[in-house]
Copies of this chain bind each other. A is one copy, B any other.
Amino acid sequence: MNVTKPSIPKGTRDFSQLEMTRRNYIFDTIRGVFQRHGFLPIETPAMENLSTLLGKYGDEGDKLLFKILNSGDFLSGANAPLSPNSDKASLQICEKGLRYDLTVPFARYVVQHQAELTFPFKRYQIQPVWRADRPQKGRYREFYQCDIDICGSNSLLNELELIQIVAEVYKKLNINVKLLINNRKVLAAIAEAIDAPDHIVDITVAIDKLDKIGIENVNAELASDGLSQAQIDKLQPILNLEGSRVEKIAALRNILTTETGQKGLDELETLFRYVDSLNIDLNIEFDIRLARGLNYYTGAIFEVKALDVQIGSITGGGRYDNLTGIFGLDGMSGVGISFGADRIYDVMTQLDLFPSDAVATTRLLFANFGADDELYSLQLLAAVREAGISAEIYPDAAKMKKQMQYADKKGIPFVALCGENERNAQTITLKDMVKGEQMTVSLAEAIAMIKA
């Protein structure tokens, strides 16, 4: 066999034991909150048929799909000579692709299994997704999404539930966040209000850049998009909207007078009333500039930003009224959010928020003194594990220095030294690696000390 220099594809990552333990702390926290709200997991395959994926993420998204080469003699399987165009050729030799997000597979799942499901259907899904993005800092080709969706109910209580979940997750993770809320109907009504209903995308894209490029550049961009000066002038009071949630809604009531506008404001008002009545412990802002990239939202739009660190959105979502329509099931409204585990990990690392006990490791290492004393240590080891303590024995009778270094490097807090004396007296000599102290005790005392 020829020797292969080991490496992994660019944009992908190995996760070490420390990283995994910390990631699992995040996943377990999120999962616990999801479950307490009555959500249960599903999983879908990593591979979906390309017919399921193509056309769902725009032209740009189609390009970012990882396609899987058909197995076997794929060239003979292509029912015509291969096109010289790579895009066309790829469809002749690939039927499957890796999932790009969890939302389209979820929509596909709901339609395919609708007869077995109980609606409103509440599910969460924590799985990796793959995108052939250009790798860069903080952007990966394989990353996890943690999605939660409710499907088959128009009630705003679902939006409320998502807000409660955001509040609980970030409280447990100890991350200070701000939840931004907007409503797609309000955005549509803004375009209506300035007599530019066809320009809703231009307007939301431009508004979204307000923080970054300033109001003058936004106005210039709108002009180059084809908006008249009159339309741009009409937009200014909206761009400059300030004040509390109540004040903003009150101001917009007089500007967004269409049915769509009033409906959007009604929805926001109801949601904020819930939030206030229940004293939800979360910084919530009505942000007219929040649009998010996806065009399929029809009602609420959510985004969570971490307050103490410069990073993009760490959670986002909204209501989409007809996602399952693309798979032939109309009239199924859904609302959901997605927690970005990788960004949350980065935030917690930067702010040093991982609790020290998020490093689950062995609590006790039995030193190995060789064959004569082995059995006594093995018997104690079994008893200690039976008591629920993570424990191990150094597998070789190596030099004591090496064994101690092993405990040290792995952060194992206690080492048991059981030689002939301990065996005869049926005791354990326990070394506390943190304090550097050492004492000879009974098994029961040792277990109590380690659990303390």
Contact = CB atoms under 8 A, between A and B. Distances in A.
Interface residues of A, number: 112
A440 interface: no
B327 A44 contact: no
A153 B396 contact: yes
A355 interface: no
A84 to B, nearest CB: 7
A176 interface: no
Contact of A391 (B38, B76, B86, B153): B38
Contacts of A374: 157
Contacts of A325: 1
A274 B374 CA distance: 10
For A38, A41, A85, A391, the residue with the greatest tally of chain B CB atoms inside 10 Å of its CB is: A38
A278 to B, nearest CB: 6
A45 B12 contact: yes
Contact of A5 (B6, B154, B328, B396): B328
A393 B157 contact: yes
A158 interface: yes
A19 to B, nearest CB: 8
A410 to B, nearest CB: 6
Contacts of A4: 51-52, 326-328
A231 interface: no
- Which secondary structure dominates chain A's binding surface? mixed
Contacts of A161: 392, 395
A132 interface: yes
Interface string A69-98: 101111110000010111001100111101
Interface of A: 1-9, 12-17, 20-21, 24, 35-38, 40-49, 51-52, 55, 63-64, 66-69, 71-76, 82, 84-86, 89-90, 93-96, 98, 108-109, 111-113, 116, 118, 120, 122-123, 128, 130, 132, 141-142, 150, 153-155, 157-158, 160-161, 164, 274, 277-278, 325-328, 360-362, 365, 368, 374-375, 378-379, 382, 385, 388-396, 406, 409-410
15 contacts: A1-B325, A6-B111, A7-B112, A8-B48, A15-B42, A36-B391, A38-B390, A47-B66, A66-B69, A67-B68, A71-B132, A75-B85, A120-B396, A122-B392, A158-B395
